[in-house]
Amino acid sequence: MLRRWGSLLAFGFASCSGVFQHDRPAPIDYAVIAPAATGLRIGSAERDITPPVGGYMAGFDLGRTSASISSPLKVRVLVLETAARRFAIVGVDNLGVMRDDVDWLKAGLPGFANGDVFVCASHTHAGPDLIGMWGTYFLTSGRDRDYLTALGAAMTAAVAEARRNAAPARLEHGVVSMPPAGLVRNSNRAFVFDRRVHVLMAKALDDGRPLGTLLHLACHPEVMPRRNRAISADFVGALCDEWRARGHGQAVFVNGALGAMVTPAVQPRDEVGVRHFGLQACDLAERALAAAMPLPVDAIEVRRRDVYLPMASLGFRLGRLTTVLQRELYDGDARSTVGWLRIGAFEALAVPGEVEPALAERLRAQLQRPELVLFGLCDDEVGYLLRQQEADDPEFAYERSMSACASAGERVSDAITGVR
């Protein structure tokens, strides 16, 4: 009997790529340039996406279910409209959303092309499991389809409200540096993290009122501790709420190169620490706003390219074998996406996972754009993205195990340099 089960398991591992399997589609290089010479309209909005208590939570340990609500989860939206085209940056309080689900969510936004919408997960470790990997020990998927449906409805409603709120706008962009210690740390390699905090604010042309702000910094939202069972947006919620309370209007948070392993340095690791981090981050964002310069926008430009990643790591293979990870494959590989967004002189890369800071700096150097912003966990979650030297380093064994494959970072990097 044991031999029979062993044979079945071996067969399953060998053939699991046949589950949800498709032929690889013809490559499509997506490129859009929308002139903004006749003006730009910008609006923003948010919706509550807090799930019912009792569901599986993503991140940290398997089988962890929520028992209370510490802070609400939100979907936050910034919409930019030219005379001919609409774009959206969407921030979701979640650990990560898979590519197939992101495509489905985008399909519910009337008037928007898929490639013109950037769906960025905050990566909170105190939200519901939208991937499926954090159920009961590979026996039960943690993914709740009803919650995904509710998220889709909330996103559609937030985008519709943002469009109603849109007004002729001008943009300002500012950036400051985080302190080298006290707020964020790299638990693998001390002081190796992106210290930049970016603020991109839209103001109404008529009276200067805030129409929406993009807030960007790189850090795991895991002030709430490993054993936490309270639903929480972590410091992202505290930051965005404080931004509004200080009179700056709606904020949309996008994470950056948080991988391997950029994490909060604040204490205590509870609701008090969440509030403390949010206040400090808001202070930094206000400094960036005070130093912000006008950002003329001649056009909004988007480029996209698919990237295919082997599902080689043991955890990913087990997840697919047991169907808790319902990830479509194309000729044996998972399809993900990279992108490039230009709003005037503001440029951002859309990256589908948790980028290690050294890989992010290498990309900036290769592209000769030292201030390039990285939208992490954008339109997909494929785990950690490392340079090959880190992927081969025993120090990064955990991060390698939480990636689709050891070469995922290099494959994504190659696709990015190709798209830009």
| 118-161 pLDDT, tens digit each | 999 999 999 999 999 999 876 789 999 999 999 999 999 999 99
**For residue 84, is it left (φ>0), alpha (ψ between -120 and 50) or beta?**
alpha
Query: What Rg, from alpha-carbon coordinates, does the chain have?
Result: 20
pLDDT at 19: 52
Residue % of the chain over a pLDDT of 90: 85
Contacts by 25-31, CB closer than 8 A, 24 or more apart: 25/330, 27/305, 27/306, 28/304, 28/306, 29/303, 29/304, 29/305, 29/419, 30/115, 30/302, 30/303, 30/304, 30/305, 30/339, 31/301, 31/302, 31/303, 31/304
Average pLDDT estimate for 63-91: 97
Q: How far apart are the C-alpha atoms of 126 and 229, rounded to whole Å? A: 7
Chain segment 146-205, per-residue pLDDT in tens: 999 999 999 999 999 999 999 999 999 999 999 999 999 999 998 899 999 999 999 999
Whose tokens are 């479509």? That residue is 328
The CA–CA distances, whole Å, from 159 to 26, 79, 166, 273 equal 31, 7, 10, 31
Average pLDDT estimate for 207-216: 98
**Token code pair at residue 106:** 């985008």
pTM check: above 0.85: yes
Contact 44, 161 (CB under 8 A): no
Better-scored residue on pLDDT, 12 or 283: 283
Closest to 333 in 3D by CA, of 350, 320, 315, 351: 320
Chain segment 87-109, per-residue pLDDT in tens: 999 999 999 999 999 999 999 99
Quick check: 15 pLDDT over 70? no
Q: Where are the domains of the chain?
A: 40-419
DSSP for 69-116, written as a single string? ESS--EEEEEEEE-SS-EEEEEEESSS---HHHHHHHHHTSTT--GGG
Q: How far apart are the C-alpha atoms of 44 and 53, rounded to whole Å? A: 28
